[in-house]
Structure 1
Amino acid sequence: MPTLATTNFNILLSVLGGWLSLFGSVSYLFKGSFYLSEAPISLLVGVALSPRAANFIRPLEYALGSPDKLASITLALSRLVLGVQLVLAGVQLPSRYLRRQWRPLALLVGPVMAAMWIVASLLVWALVPDLPLLHALAVGACVAPTDPVLSSLIMKGRFADRNHPKGLQDLVVAEAGANGALAYPFLFLALYLIKCLGDGSGDGSAAEHHGGGGGGARAAVGQWFGEAWGYAVLLGIVYGAVVGWLARELLRRAEERRFVDRQSFLVPAVSLALFVVGTCGMIGSDDALACFAAGSAFAWDDRFRLDALDDSLQPTADMLLTVPVFLWYGAVCPWEAFRASPVVPLGKLVALAVLVLLARRLPWVFLLHWFIPPIGQARQAVFVGFFGPVGVSAIFYLYVALGFLRTLDVDGKPRADVRLLPEAVTVVVWFTTICSTFIHGLSIPFGKIGHFLPGTASRDPSPPFGPLGSPASSAHGDEPGTGLRRSVFRARGSSGPKVQPRPGEAVPDRRKASHYGKDVLVDVVEASQVAPAHASVPCERRMIRLPDEPTMAGTRETCGHGRAER
């Protein structure tokens, strides 16, 4: 007789697949019309499906009842999502972007990043009772970096295309990628000082007495330069850049010899992230920074980015990782600790999270925006300064810090002077991440409703596509950030004037309207506008777009430079 196999694996796959299918079916409604990203929605769904409610997602059972194994799973998932997102961030940047825009990026990841760390640490020190300054520096380092995962959700889609010029979007993506990876030295400066100085007395006697090894500030700074900067940061940059360059050359040579098909051509961006995360994890280097360096080196000549404009593998992989990680965060977040924590009262915790999100970044970006050319207006400076979310990168650094603190245990017990630090950093980082996910995720829709969020002037002359059946008001225009010419017409039987092409412009292909609606967007684009400089024979591309596709999806082209028909 058949029996039900309600195992954790079957339940988890059912829940994950069901939610991905459900959200995917209404994704444009949420993201295109309501400006809601998948992060806050998935976080709420994770809470609803956790053991606190429906009990479909059971994280502690997956970890065999071990909190340490649960922490390892959360760290591994955060590393994976962060690594893939950082590679994609590097791949999305225009050709040689880091070399051309190194000055504004240096300001954002240098003085601004240091100010974010100091301000966040001082706020933690002021609002968390009885927390030493060194401990506050460690907590502040976890919440200081801008999260590339949440930043990419904010800087993609209809709202970003309508309100922000392409140069500003590229700057935010690049800054979030470098910023999210460069918190490593800030965190380990505090951790090495805690290890060598103990309670911060300065002579190292407390740390030596409690098993920390002592050595004083000189030993801490020596380890910081040698291990954090030398082995983790510099090695990570060099390793990631070399791997990215090798992957680019391998793909180029394979493409020239026609060894690779279209499906495999798009895979390296994701597989590169998996390889770098795994190998850097084995050698103990900074895999986040290595992933960003690898993505930037991989797309340095713009060949891959331009060839992948008309494909959706990367956004699909991004969504397939973002939704599960926030489902997981909603299920594993220590919600009970927020109300009953002996380290920090709930009222101060709320005040701390709000002040961190408002004061750690906004004032410094606004003060320095005159020296950052892509931020051309004060309103853009306010937007860039406010939208510096705390997310996956903070959870990643949280569990990195907890793992380091476990190495300071004496006889299997936490060292006396750091006994309360694990709980303090856990509560503060988790609560700030949850607040940032909702505040930054809901600011745009509430701002649009209340008309109190000023839009930034876009240099892009063409507005984005509206819902299917409601194309942009301009019949002709350049696609945001692509330079593509767009033509819009209405299908047979639909109302509205027909748009005639301009002189010399390709005539739109009048295809039969699909069942999605009466209005159909069809483009005929000359491939010389998007193909790499080495292309010798132009291609003709035709497509029917879904409403949120600013680039070419589902294309069919015939090229004379070695590209087979798709």
Structure 2
Amino acid sequence: MPTLALTNFNILVGLLGGWISLFGLVSYLCKENYYLSEALISLLAGVAFSPPAANLIRPLEYAGTEEDVESVTLAFSRLVLGVQLVLAGVQLPSRYLRTQWKPMALLVGPVMTCMWLATSLLVWAMVPHIPFLHALAVGACVTPTDPVLSNVIVKGRFADHNIPTELQNLIISESGANDGLGYPFLFFALYLIKYIGDGGKQVSGGAGLAMGLWFGETWGYTIILSVIYGAVVGWLAKTLLRWAEKRKYVDRESFLVFAISLALFIVGTCGMIGSDDVLACFIAGNAFTWDDWFRLETEDDSFQPTIDMLLNVTIFMWYGAVIPWNEFLHNDVIPIYRLIPLGILVLILRRLPFVFAIHRFIPQIEQVKQAIFVGFFGPIGVSAIFYLYVTVEFLHTLNEGDEPRSDVAHLPEIVRVVVWFLAVCSIVVHGLSIPLGKLGYYAPRSLSRGISFMSGEGDGEGGPEATRPSFRIRGRVLYPFGRSRSQGIEAATGSGYNIESRAQSQSQSQPQSDVEGANRPIYRIGGSVIPPPPAGADEPGAAPPWTKRAGQPEHQKRSGPEDGERVNGSQTKVADEQQQVQTPPPPELPSRTIRFPDETPAAPR
């Protein structure tokens, strides 16, 4: 007789497959129309299915103990970071790390150091009774920017129409490099905690031994070895793949999956030797496409983005299920009224002031708006959770023996509560920033229409309504009621008029006093850091305005809503035709009947 088999495996696999399928049905709507990231949506889904809610995903029941849950989360984070960073390295143009080493050195050097110190000072100020060394360890966990969440702002229609290609590459490169370079900041604090945290009562050696280990093990064995290993493995992989492809030994499927398998190989082998597998994956990905051959061959392929999407959805669902919500409210280290201001201060002061201070020395950041954008979007996500459990794993080694160290008794709880809370804040805030920014730009249009509608009936052609100011939204002008019945209806329906054409038509049919009334002052309502899309930018398949010919520098800057607009909505012509951005013809699509919203139909033959 058939019986239900409600095992954990069946429930988990069915739930994961069902959620990915349901999200896939509206994925374009969520990501390209509403600009909602799959990370935020999957995190909310994981929270909904977690033990405090629907109790369909039960991590503790799967693993058995809290320590095993932490080990699974650490391993899962390593896997996702490894794959993501190889793909990030593959996305970069040829020899990118060599040609753009100056801006990269600024971002992973002084900026990253200031991010670490600023976050540590905020933690030290907000967490009661925490030593500064412990605050340095907590700050190091959230110093790297997350490559998984950074991909949200460098992919898709929003990025294509609002972020220059060179700036996208810089964000990708920085998030990949500083993920692996989080080890020196973290172990600088951890080694000092180990050797001088308790005054040398249990472990002798002092600060001298701690700094020796930091330079020798962290910089020498962990960082430098991983860079060499990643470069050698990436170069050998590229050479072998070209050799096999030239002799027609490799099929298309194996060719496309090669970067993914390379990431798995590096994560496993670097893990075995105890080096920095995260940094090695990024270096290997960049070396793998050093001559741009593999990147150009797979540029139009969707296999790697598909794997990327599956990993992102899965890991953020897992994070949603393992977030320690109860510890945010009930813990022995920091009350919630301190935790919330800490999250706000970290998001504002952790990165933005330092990027803004040096943006003039980074050629990819051409405008103040771009500096604010790059400074604000330094998300905290998978990399922070990875370093969180690396820290907890290291602290467990300090408690071995009959007498556990009292000075680090509360540090694992501090790290767990603070880092998880900051990661949740970053995922939510950065995941909603683009939709809210778009809303802040388009909301003034509705506001202006409401003002025009509520402006009241007119007093006649020569009354005070004739001098009432109009409101400009983009290139359109909305007039209030009062001129005439027909004009009032037009203003109420929100159909603005071109000023020049309106004035011309009125000059032919109305006296001069009415023409002067039509030239009332025009006030602009609202604004946004996000510039407006060009005409037709919101159409599916529209070519991005930042598209340029390969090898040419970008000579034009995108103007905001107030730059270069005329009242009649026409755009100024470019004086230098040689520097005008060239839009390539739409690519010819494969011979299939399905056309997705982000595909441009081929021109008729």
Give the TM-score normalised by structure 2: 0.77
The equivalent position to 2:311 in structure 1, one of 310, 317, 321, is 321
Deviations 1:161-220 (CA, angstroms, capped at 9, x unpaired)? 110110000000001100111111100000000001014xxxxxx23x2x3x12111110
Q: Are positions 1:23 and 2:23 aligned together? A: yes
- What is the aligned partner in structure 2 of residue 466 from structure 1? 539
Aligned-partner SS, 2:398: coil
Contact 2:37–2:152 (CA under 8 A) maintained in structure 1: yes
Contact 1:462–1:480 (CA under 8 A) maintained in structure 2: no
Aligned mates of 1:453, 1:242 — CA distance in 2: 46
- What is the aligned partner in structure 1 of residue 132 from structure 2? 133
Contact 2:122–2:346 (CA under 8 A) maintained in structure 1: yes
Q: CA deviation at 1:546?
A: 2.1
Q: Which amino acid aligns with 1:282?
A: M
Contact 2:144–2:182 (CA under 8 A) maintained in structure 1: yes
Aligned mates of 2:403, 2:321 — CA distance in 1: 28
Q: Which amino acid aligns with 2:66?
A: P
Q: Are positions 1:56 and 2:56 aligned together? A: yes
Indicate how the Cα distance of structure 1 residues 542 and 464 shifts in structure 2: closer, same or farther if over 3 A, else same: farther
Deviations 1:399-435 (CA, angstroms, capped at 9, x unpaired)? 0000000000142664111011100011000000000
Aligned-partner SS, 1:523: coil
- What is the aligned partner in structure 2 of residue 546 from structure 1? 596
Q: Are positions 1:84 and 2:120 aligned together? A: no
Contact 1:524–1:542 (CA under 8 A) maintained in structure 2: no
- What is the aligned partner in structure 2 of residue 119 from structure 1? 118
Structure 1 segment 364-379 matched on structure 2, within 5 A: 364-379=354-369
- What is the aligned partner in structure 2 of residue 336 from structure 1? 326
Aligned mates of 2:158, 2:314 — CA distance in 1: 24
**Greater CA radius of gyration, 1 or 2?**
2
- What is the aligned partner in structure 2 of residue 425 from structure 1? 415
Contact 2:70–2:389 (CA under 8 A) maintained in structure 1: yes
Aligned mates of 1:545, 1:89 — CA distance in 2: 27
Aligned mates of 1:354, 1:240 — CA distance in 2: 37
Gapped regions of structure 2 (runs ≥ 5):
442-526, 552-584
- What is the aligned partner in structure 2 of residue 455 from structure 1? 530
Pairs aligned (count): 483
- What is the aligned partner in structure 1 of residue 36 from structure 2? 36
Indicate how the Cα distance of structure 1 residues 70 and 157 shifts in structure 2: closer, same or farther if over 3 A, else same: same
Structure 1 segment 226-237 matched on structure 2, within 5 A: 226-237=216-227
Indicate how the Cα distance of structure 1 residues 252 and 355 shifts in structure 2: closer, same or farther if over 3 A, else same: same
Q: Percent identity?
A: 63
Q: Which amino acid aligns with 2:89?
A: G
Aligned-partner SS, 2:316: helix
- What is the aligned partner in structure 2 of residue 488 from structure 1? none
Indicate how the Cα distance of structure 1 residues 547 and 121 shifts in structure 2: closer, same or farther if over 3 A, else same: same
Q: Which amino acid aligns with 2:311?
A: L
- What is the aligned partner in structure 2 of residue 106 from structure 1? 105
Aligned mates of 1:54, 1:337 — CA distance in 2: 19
Q: Which amino acid aligns with 2:33?
A: S
Give the TM-score normalised by structure 1: 0.82
Q: CA deviation at 1:344?
A: 0.6
Q: Which amino acid aligns with 1:131?
A: I
Contact 1:164–1:457 (CA under 8 A) maintained in structure 2: no
Q: Which amino acid aligns with 2:178?
A: N
Deviations 1:297-327 (CA, angstroms, capped at 9, x unpaired)? 0011100110101110111011110001000
Across the aligned residues of Structure 1 and Structure 2, the Cα RMSD in angstroms comes to: 2.2
Q: CA deviation at 1:522?
A: 6.6
Indicate how the Cα distance of structure 1 residues 9 and 51 shifts in structure 2: closer, same or farther if over 3 A, else same: same
- What is the aligned partner in structure 2 of residue 151 from structure 1? 150
Q: Which amino acid aligns with 2:425?
A: C
Gapped regions of structure 1 (runs ≥ 5):
200-205, 485-520, 526-540, 553-566
Q: Which amino acid aligns with 2:539?
A: G
Aligned mates of 1:348, 1:382 — CA distance in 2: 26
Deviations 1:495-525 (CA, angstroms, capped at 9, x unpaired)? xxxxxxxxxxxxxxxxxxxxxxxxxx97339
Contact 2:163–2:546 (CA under 8 A) maintained in structure 1: no
Q: Which amino acid aligns with 2:4?
A: L
- What is the aligned partner in structure 1 of residue 374 from structure 2? 384
- What is the aligned partner in structure 2 of residue 523 from structure 1? 587
Aligned-partner SS, 2:587: strand
Deviations 1:97-135 (CA, angstroms, capped at 9, x unpaired)? 111101000000000000000000000001100000000
Q: CA deviation at 1:153?
A: 1.5
Q: Where has structure 1 moved over 4 Å in runs of 4 or more?
A: 461-465, 481-484, 541-545, 549-552
Indicate how the Cα distance of structure 1 residues 478 and 340 shifts in structure 2: closer, same or farther if over 3 A, else same: closer
